[in-house]
Amino acid sequence: MTEKSISRAVIKRLPRYYRYLGELMENGIVRISSMELSERMKVTASQIRQDFNNFGGFGQQGYGYNVEYLYKEIGMILGLESTHNVIIIGAGNVGRALANYSDFNKRGFVFTAIFDNNPKLWEENIGSCKVQPVDMLEEYVREHKVEIAALTLPKESAPQVAAKLVNLGVKAIWNFAPTDLNLPEDVLVENVHLAESLMRLSFRIKESGI
């Protein structure tokens, strides 16, 4: 598989395929044609075929796609075959929501620790983690394998905490703070901004005249 040459647009669609295929598996569906998948997902069958051709097709003429096989292959492409340790910095509304949401765990994202600078929150259990003082962050990262750090703290503190994490060797940041992080190129940053999504919806409401 030559994942490096696959366009970002295709990669962006893979989690959605993965989710649909997971649901099909839960419903006991063993195989599906690109036409059926297309109807369910509201993506054209040719788009589906084109997307899957990037990875060598997966399908068989006259049979369609083996749902479990495709699910596992896409999971592997997305790096979901192994678990990912995630720490959370900021135990407020957003940090709590993440830590309490058990579905991430099912997908292999394991929240291993949560940090905050508010002493009132220390020792509180959130999900499967106990809130630790942010001063413990350095020691924790040195002693544990931390793949992803979720930043759920105010935007004023996010750049400094991100830089510290990067200095400690963390290579992937899941950034919820509404600020652009200026980090070295080899650090992967995935920004999540619900407000931007809402603004896009607002634009579409305006555009459609409803």
Q: Which residues bind ligand NAI (CB under 6 A)?
A: 89-95, 115-118, 121, 134, 152-155, 157, 161, 176-178, 192-195
Q: Which is nearer to ligand NAI, 67 or 149 (CB)?
A: 149
Residue with tokens 């083996």: 66
Nearest approach in angstroms of CB 145 to ligand NAI is 21
CB 176 within 8 A of CB 150: yes
Q: Which is nearer to ligand NAI, 59 or 95 (CB)?
A: 95
**206: which 2 tokens?**
């305006």
Nearest approach in angstroms of CB 174 to ligand NAI is 10
- The residue number with the shortest CB distance to ligand NAI is 92
- HEC assignment per residue over 30-78: CEECHHHHHHHHCCCHHHHHHHHHCCCCCCECCCEEEHHHHHHHHHHHC
Q: Which residues pair with 60 in a beta bridge?
A: 64
- Residue 57 CA to residue 35 CA, distance in Å, equals 15
Nearest approach in angstroms of CB 179 to ligand NAI is 8
CB 84 within 8 A of CB 108: yes
Q: Which is nearer to ligand NAI, 41 or 192 (CB)?
A: 192
Nearest approach in angstroms of CB 194 to ligand NAI is 3
Q: Which is nearer to ligand NAI, 25 or 189 (CB)?
A: 189
Q: Which is nearer to ligand NAI, 75 or 178 (CB)?
A: 178
Residues with Cβ < 8 Å from 89, sequence gap 6 or more?
95, 114, 115, 116, 134, 137, 149, 150, 151, 152, 153, 161, 165
Nearest approach in angstroms of CB 191 to ligand NAI is 8
- Residue 53 CA to residue 48 CA, distance in Å, equals 8
Q: Which is nearer to ligand NAI, 75 or 159 (CB)?
A: 159
**89: which 2 tokens?**
């910095």
Nearest approach in angstroms of CB 12 to ligand NAI is 18
